[in-house]
Each structure stands twice: as C-alpha cells, then as structure tokens.
Amino acid sequence: MSWLDANLGRIGDLALTHLWLSVLPVVLGLLVAVPVGWWAQRHPRLGGVLLGSGSILYTLPSLPLLTIIPVILGTSILDPLNVVVVLSLYAVALLLRTAADAFAQLPREVVDAADATGHSTWQRALRVELPLAGPVLLAGVRVVSVSTVSLVTVGALIGVSNLGSLFTEGFQRNYTFEIVTGLVAVVLLALLLDGLWVLLGRLLLPWARTERSAA
C-alpha cells in the first residue's frame, strides 16, 4: 500500500493525460464522421467506397500504425499527437459506418413529413435527421469511447506516458500490484467516460427515454 500512497499523485497525472488522449479522438472522430456519414448515406456509390476504406482502416493493427504515423507526419515517435491521430482514425472508421447507418434507418414518414412541412435540406438535416440519429450515434460513441480508453495504453510501448505506463513499469519491476492498479484505473476511467456520455445523452435526447403508451 505504501507504493500506492507514494505514487497517488503520479497516477492522477497519468490518468489526466490518459483522459485527454481518450476524449480528443472520440470527439474528433464524431465531428468528422457525422457530416461525412450523412453525405455518404445520400450518395450511395461514392459513399460506399468511403465506408469501405473506413472499414479497411479499422483492420490496421494499432501498434504498427503508432509507429508508421510519426514517419508520415514527421513527428517524434514519442509525441502524444501520434496516439491522438491513430485513435482518431479508428474513431472515424467506426463512427462513419454508425453514422451512415443511423441516417439510413430514419423512419421514412418522418423525413417525408419534414419535407412536406417545408424544411429546407439544411433545416431537415440539423433539426430532424441529426437529433433522430442521436440514439444510434450515442450507442456508437459509447463503444468507441470504451475501446479508445483501452487502446491508449498501447502508446506506453512507444514511450507515450499514460496509465499504460503502469503496465510496462510493473512488468519491468516484476510488480503485480502496479499492473493491477493500472488495470483498475483504466477500467474506472472507461466507466466514468461512459457515464458522462450517457448523461450527455439524457440531457440532449430527453425524448428517447419516453415509453410508448398503449395506443
């Protein structure tokens, strides 16, 4: 326990770094994937190519990608930016499919009603399609968020500090407790972020929780 006492401050710092290394890619991924997914769903032919390349991106293993990206960007291999870029690519790859599916499965009669009541294309996209796609997008974001928190730890192997550093240090010092601490911290962080996404969903999508009354 004395190790934990002595290292509490450092674990806190690592957790903070880990937090922004996890949140940034998910937010960036969402910002890119939603408009592109919306567009892809309206242009099936080119959109299909786009979605296909997204899914290929997702098959690329994380550690190799973490070493290839700095060579392409010209950044130092130790730069945390590499982790953000790689994880953002994954987030885009996954959320692009989610977003395209979310927009494609909107009830036809509601979209039709939006047209019939005189929404312009933009008004329909922002006021009708985006909020209605919200629940599916949120489910996708939750999946991406959890796996991103877990993937950040791989960055420790190329020297980017985060909670994963507790694994490499614990391994080198043959200290099981440090690894277990890291595991618990990572899982807690994933749960915390998931809770925040759920909360955000309740605030932004209050209608999604209403029960259908007997008609």
List of residues contacting other proteins (CB under 8 A): 56, 59-65, 67-68, 70-74, 77, 107, 109-110, 112-120, 123, 128, 131-132, 134, 143, 146-147, 149-151, 153-154, 156-159, 164, 167-168, 170-171, 174, 176, 179-180, 182-183, 186-187, 190-191, 205, 207-208, 210-215
Closest separation in Å from C-beta 33 to other proteins:
19
Torsion angle of C-alpha atoms 47, 53, 59, 60, degrees rounded to 10: -140
Contacting residues for 181 by C-beta, under 8 A, at least 6 apart? 4, 11, 166, 170
Closest separation in Å from C-beta 95 to other proteins:
15
Torsion angle of C-alpha atoms 34, 25, 28, 110, degrees rounded to 10: 20
Query: Of 134, 129, 133, which is closest to residue 200 (Cα–Cα)?
Result: 134
Assess contact for 33 and 136: CB atoms under 8 A: no
Between residues 31 and 131, which has the closer beta carbon with respect to other proteins? 131
Query: Using the 8-state DSSP alphabet, how is residue 153 labeled?
Result: G
Closest separation in Å from C-beta 130 to other proteins:
10
Closest separation in Å from C-beta 139 to other proteins:
11
Tokens of 161: 């500090």
Between residues 191 and 198, which has the closer beta carbon with respect to other proteins? 191
Between residues 46 and 184, which has the closer beta carbon with respect to other proteins? 184
